[in-house]
Structure 1
Amino acid sequence: MKQTIETLSVESLRVAYGEKRTTPEEVVREIIRLAERDSEMNVWITPPRMERIQPYLDALAAFDPNQAPLWGIPFAIKDNIDLAGVPTTAGCPDYQYVPREHAVVVDRLIRAGAIPVGKTNLDQFATGLVGVRSPYGETRNAIREELISGGSSSGSAVAVARGHAAFSLGTDTAGSGRVPAALNGLVGYKPSLGAWPTKGVVPACASLDCVSVFANSLEDALEIDRVLRGLEPTDPWSRELSPLAPELPARLVLPAGELSFFGPYADEYRWAWKRAIEKLESLGLPIEYVDTGLFQEAADLLYGGPFVEERWASLGGFIEAHPDSVLPVTAGILRPSAESSYDGASVFKAIHALQAIKLESNRLLSNAVLVMPTSGGTWTREQVRNDPVRTNTQMGLYTNHCNLLELCGAAIPFGEAAEGVPFGITLFAPSSRENLAIGAALAATSGSAQPEKTAAAGHTFVAVCGLHMRGYALEKQMLQLGAKFVREARTAPKYALYRLPTVPPKPGMVKREGQGKAIELEIWEMPLASFGSFVSDIPGPLGIGKVELEDGTEVPGFVCEGYAAAGAEDITSFGGWRAIE
């Protein structure tokens, strides 16, 4: 079998497995072939090998594919994230150790049926945005090998872009999960601080570190978020943040005036940004152009203030004990200078300044999404070798502010700056409104902020709110009937949701004028030729009726007869089936 960059995704593999066109083992063998083909690109530290992957393939027999949302989906892991029994190096051979347990995020993915295939290269100790700071070799760009791959999650990005994995885990403290995405034509999603656990991740700046995901589509990134999001009681940095339900913001916030661009394609990047603005303006969402200087103020605090000392707090002991084990450029960044004037008072002054900037940032982004270029340019690998600090610093121009201000970031491809030179934008939102960044990103990638009001000829929309949704047992039935997922949506605030005492439990949605709530659901498009048999197989008290959406439109969808509520648990307050199942 053959897998390409376009088809190696969560959705395509799920369909291929369901139709018996391939198996997870065949997919893994092809991944191994591709990784060996690309061995000179320095993507991997622990590359895909069947003897390491086979136990995970064997374990799939114990899973029900209909209950495991990532069954058989291969993924790559940045080598500062633990995979039990495999060395974690953080890009430093002398630092390596063999963990006994998976990082929490890796464990959650494996429990969902995903297959870890190997550990990827990175800028040493996740210190860099360029992808060339590794004793395991410079990771080459997936499209044009003379260009940098971006870092620090260099191998994780290139692994997905070259078809070595359907998705990959990276980390993101200052842009490491977004810059490589932009430079290799991928989606890179960095959730809010604490949304995904970081236990089992080698710290860079522990209070600012995030695990991130690289994927070929935003939909795939959302699939990963559903598995990884949630409080981990043993992780001191973990937080309980609401599940993502994409929603359009009230407005987009864009930088006023000319932005700075750099590198050999500076002019091309400038024109790509102007084209991006034109497309964003065509979405129909209100746009506000503002002075974004406050975001630069926050970015300056990350490496131009005492926060940089947190990296030394995590790694200083190792570097002091092993001074020859660390690359000179890495040590130079991590080691405090003899002239450093930072003291305890400096830390608190920076915290106080940052709080004031956060207040202004949250006000500015109230019900809004900030849009910036993911990167203001790129470099050749040779240029970075010749000027390692300045070139690296410029790569963080539009990313460094993110975690200090507790923002999430959805980096999405947005065409090309030049032939073979991808361009991308990032949509930022506060941690309390991550769904706005995702909603705006989905609108931008689809080219419209308005959902389709009518189905294609010969088809009908169907609203599903339970086991027919993606990742649940009856999704397979939807695919077999030729239905395609269209979008996530919510009902008008007029519905109650009940957990019916069936085996397995199912949701029942009942219209309650004046007493209900907006319920999260999915809109699918189904051929009319399949719709009749679909409806006839639905057992009572469920049925198909008109479901009113929050935009006032009505579509056919699952409803429940009112009498069933008497013996069922009222779960309306959860707002949807995904919140409890």
Structure 2
Amino acid sequence: MTAVTFPEVLTMQWLREKYTTKQLAPEAVIEEIISRSERDAAMNIWITPPSLMQLRPYLERLALLDPAQTPLWGIPFAVKDNIDVAGFPTTAACAEFAYTPGENATVVERLVQAGAIPLGKTNLDQFATGLVGMRSPYGEAHNALRPELISGGSSSGSAVAVARGQAVFSLGTDTAGSGRVPAALNGLVGFKPTLGAWPTKGVVPACASLDCVTVFAHSIDDALAVDSSARGLDPADPWSRDVVRSASGLPSKLYLPQERPAFYGPFADEYARAWEGSIQQLQALGISIEYVDCSLFAEAAAELYEGPWVAERWADLSEFIESHPGALVPATEQVLRSGAAERHTAASVFASMHRLQAFKLAAKFLLGDAVLVMPTCGGTWTREQVREQPIQTNTAMGAYTNHCNLLDLSAVALPSGEAAERLPFGITLFALADQEHLLEGLGRLYADRTMESRSSERAKCSLNNAIAKVSSEASEAFDSDQTTLVAVCGLHMRGFALEQQMLAFEASFVREANTAAKYELIKLDTTPAKPGMIKLEQGGASVAVELWRMPLSRFGAFAALIPAPLGIGKVELEGGEEVPGFICEGYALERAERISEYGGWREYRRAMSLM
């Protein structure tokens, strides 16, 4: 078995290929994941992190299973810590509440029977009450891409684990949007099946009548592979029902909000532009689009926290809360105690149920064979902003999610490009309970048709911004004692996707240059594709690079973001001058395409576009 270079993110397709060709064994995958979890320990992703000793029985069991008969053989997944995994503590992010179950939740058991490996338990907003990922005594789960921003909740750790390459997929839960908001904020797919389609036996309830178990993944294909194993009636679960997902299909019509969605937070303008870009992508699909009044969805959503459903949370947790003063995060306790308000009477419950029934009927007539499309979130926040206004910021995050389970809709959150550098934007597709197949067909079509066009759009936008914001003359005026040159050879160059990152770190383009003839240029096996430059002991070629000047005060934070096998080292230029710049570790050669003959990344990309 040869050494394998792991990609930044893990997918089922990649793992299955390595398993099938005997290039990789599941234990090596687990060891890599453990290493990554230790690397990211400060991000507060896990409550019970992966442990080789605890996972040994699952690894040994794989030898007894036929991969051809177990569709998730050797696929590692993370589990939100309000879902039971036998032998792992279930905390719901509250140590005083913790217990160790003797059996798996139904969905976990089904995935294990399909050959999947439950890695550990992930962080969450306490008792699954929140959409920000900030309400946990185990620490604030950091956003996978920009640690100063929120990760989204309540399934925060589950989403970040997948986004950081620490699981192929993960389980979350969704009552008000917790299986969709973290997907949008971390650049993932978040699939929320129809109510009851996945059993909730073994899940700590938030609102038992509305709770769903959900999945985070990097593609719809991976999410639906999990769905195929998890779905189905559990006779021991009173909320479970038999909902068959039909063969993939496309809707006859797309509905978009008639009124421009409200955007909020420090990136409101960027989110608004990203939404307009998503509309253009939807228009290019060739499916009829109609703009409709979406007030019924907002009115239905108001029932979740303004109506008596919050009392359902209190009914499940009141005894514990009253007997454990001080055990809860203050914002969580404030929300849960609101369920004890005198206005939540039996009469108010029935009045709300009757209003909701009317909303359900209206939604059924409206959607028919159609799919509703909304932004998954109207914005995001820094973690500092959420600390200052914990209730208001959390409420805003549910503006386009809270209606879903109340109306018994199915949904899938999809990545839809970036609002800004390392700031994912997402849309959500909503369909009726028995029309999940429309989400599958439309979701696949949208993902396939938009990936390439969005890459081109980002490059064009980056070039225009660079022309407007910087010039080589201005960069030469920087005080060289307070700045450093940086040699870049790939996506950070002008006109490519990560140019915005250079600008965000206050760097300015200086000039084009070439390295000494001592380097091998390779194309790394990553998504998106990117180059790596390896210095050779003998031979090698000259590679075209760009020199940028960056403030020393920003250089350290910039370097810390660079993912392996890339890094910052000394790059030797023609003439012998050495400057800091992008280099690549030698082990990456094994799985990479050698492209030195093109003389540089820009030239390589130009040649590929002509083929």
Greater mean deviation of Cα atoms: 433-442 or 201-210: 433-442
Count matched residues. 448
Q: Is the 8 A contact 2:314 2:339 kept in 1?
A: no
Q: In the alignment, which of 292, 295, 305 is matched to residue 294 of structure 2? A: 292
Q: Deviations over 1:278-305 (max 9, x none)?
A: 1101100001100100000110000111
Q: Is the 8 A contact 1:2 1:30 kept in 2?
A: no
> Structure 2 CA distance, aligned partners of 1:310 and 1:77?
24
Residue aligned with 1:148, SS = coil
Question: Is residue 8 of structure 2 the alignment partner of residue 5 of structure 1?
Answer: yes
1:121 is matched with 123
Q: In the alignment, which of 210, 219, 222 is matched to residue 221 of structure 2? A: 219
Q: CA deviation at 1:328?
A: 1.1
2:314 is matched with 312
Q: Deviations over 1:124-166 (max 9, x none)?
A: 0000000010000000000000000000000000000000000
Q: Quick one: structure 1 residues 314 and 337, their matched pair in 2 at CA, closer, same or farther if it must change by over 3 Å? A: closer
Q: Deviations over 1:533-555 (max 9, x none)?
A: xxxxxxxxxxxxxxxxxxxxxxx
Q: Is the 8 A contact 2:92 2:128 kept in 1?
A: yes
1:503 is matched with none
Residue aligned with 2:282, SS = helix
Q: Quick one: structure 1 residues 434 and 338, their matched pair in 2 at CA, closer, same or farther if it must change by over 3 Å? A: closer
Task: Letter of the 2:328 partner, please give it.
Answer: V
Residue aligned with 1:403, SS = helix
Q: Deviations over 1:330-361 (max 9, x none)?
A: 11000137753121110000000000010000
Q: In the alignment, which of 380, 395, 404 is matched to residue 397 of structure 2? A: 395
Residue aligned with 1:411, SS = strand
Residue aligned with 1:117, SS = strand
Residue aligned with 2:32, SS = helix
1:246 is matched with 248
2:380 is matched with 378
> Structure 2 CA distance, aligned partners of 1:155 and 1:195?
24
Greater mean deviation of Cα atoms: 428-437 or 378-387: 428-437
Q: CA deviation at 1:2?
A: 3.1
Q: Deviations over 1:209-260 (max 9, x none)?
A: 0000000111000100100111111000000001342110010011012110
Q: Is the 8 A contact 2:82 2:204 kept in 1?
A: yes
> Structure 2 CA distance, aligned partners of 1:185 and 1:96?
31
Q: Deviations over 1:356-395 (max 9, x none)?
A: 0100001110000000000000000000000000000000
Report which of the two structures shows the higher radius of gyration computed on alpha carbons: 2
Within-5 A mapping of 1:394-543: 394-447=396-449
1:184 is matched with 186
> Structure 2 CA distance, aligned partners of 1:228 and 1:99?
20
TM-score, structure 2 length as denominator? 0.72
Q: Is the 8 A contact 2:408 2:433 kept in 1?
A: yes
Query: Could you say what the CA RMSD is over the residues aligned between the two structures, in angstroms?
Result: 1.2
Q: Is the 8 A contact 2:90 2:101 kept in 1?
A: yes
Q: Is the 8 A contact 2:245 2:435 kept in 1?
A: no
1:107 is matched with 109
Q: In the alignment, which of 345, 353, 366 is matched to residue 343 of structure 1? A: 345
Task: Letter of the 1:3 partner, please give it.
Answer: F
Question: Is residue 305 of structure 2 the alignment partner of residue 303 of structure 1?
Answer: yes
> Higher relative contact order at CA 8 Å, sep ≥6: structure 1 or structure 2?
1
Task: Letter of the 2:235 partner, please give it.
Answer: P
Unaligned runs of 5+ in 2: 451-611
Q: Is the 8 A contact 2:312 2:339 kept in 1?
A: no
1:49 is matched with 51
Identity %: 62
1:206 is matched with 208
Q: In the alignment, which of 26, 30, 33 is matched to residue 32 of structure 2? A: 30
Q: Deviations over 1:494-544 (max 9, x none)?
A: xxxxxxxxxxxxxxxxxxxxxxxxxxxxxxxxxxxxxxxxxxxxxxxxxxx
Residue aligned with 1:423, SS = strand
Q: Is the 8 A contact 2:311 2:339 kept in 1?
A: no
Q: Deviations over 1:97-137 (max 9, x none)?
A: 00000000000000000011110000000000000100000
> Structure 2 CA distance, aligned partners of 1:310 and 1:337?
7
Q: CA deviation at 1:308?
A: 1.1
Task: Letter of the 1:272 partner, please give it.
Answer: A
Q: In the alignment, which of 157, 163, 166 is matched to residue 164 of structure 1? A: 166
> Structure 2 CA distance, aligned partners of 1:395 and 1:295?
15
Q: CA deviation at 1:324?
A: 1.2
> Structure 2 CA distance, aligned partners of 1:163 and 1:417?
22
> Structure 2 CA distance, aligned partners of 1:294 and 1:130?
25
Residue aligned with 1:429, SS = strand
> Structure 1 CA distance, aligned partners of 2:5 and 2:86?
30
Q: Is the 8 A contact 1:3 1:163 kept in 2?
A: no
> Structure 2 CA distance, aligned partners of 1:275 and 1:339?
43
Residue aligned with 1:4, SS = coil
Question: Is residue 160 of structure 2 the alignment partner of residue 143 of structure 1?
Answer: no
Task: Letter of the 1:159 partner, please give it.
Answer: A
Task: Letter of the 1:186 partner, please give it.
Answer: L
